[in-house]
Amino acid sequence: MPRPILEQPEERLIIALDMPERGKALGLANALAPRISTFKVGPVLFLGAGPGVIRELNDLGAGVFLDLKFHDIPSTVEKSIEHVVRYGVKMFTVHSLGGLDMMRAVVERVNGLTLDAPERRPLVLAVTVLTSHDDDALSSLGIRASTGDEVLRLAGIAEKAGVDGLVASGLEAEVLRREFGDRFTLVVPGIRPGGKAHDQKRVATPAEAVDKGADYLVIGRVVTEAPEPEKAVDGIIAELTSL
């Protein structure tokens, strides 16, 4: 699918509902829904509240980014994707380390399931290197490449598989745009507008990430743990508006 055209800053924001309580997640989503059009459902909320929370978020008029990072043998992931498409999510993740065959099987299955209803087709996003990893973390896993080089290598495999987008840190967004142009939708986690890095190691501010080519920004604790989440979102929107 083509790279999205995002005209308003708030369209870029994805708020990560990384909490197990359904009521707390939906309450926050209700409060932010006038400003935010996409919410992330990761393993914490998905396992805590069940897949029904996706329908409830959709009922708010919000899109869902299902971030479960599928990584298994191709047939297992392909069967899992049938449920993902049925949930009606806006985008979802597989892990690029699952390999070319796995990612290609996912893309082909998604295309087949939405052939008669292309408007229901979710974006297939390949996770490259987690933002909690740096060069030392990769080295401990036996990967001798730098994080930047490894992201590019995995992006090349994802391109061959036909995925729609990549998940990478803001530090790699610029080189990915230079290497692949508008081929991919770029979703960037590890966004820290002047806040603490927490357990992330490769972070960027909202303005830095967008300036380097990010399409969507995944933002979690900076908003969800803020005393006034609405004001935290407004501050990020103001930062992006000034670009």
**Core vs surface per residue 153-175: b (16+ CB within 10 A) or e:** ebbebbbebebbbbbbbbbbbeb
Residue of 69, 90, 201, 212 marked catalytic: 69
201 is catalytic: no
Amino acid identity at 38:
T
**What distance, in Å, lies between the first and last C-alpha atoms of the chain?**
26
Alpha carbon distance 4, 83 (integer Å):
24
Catalytic residues: 69
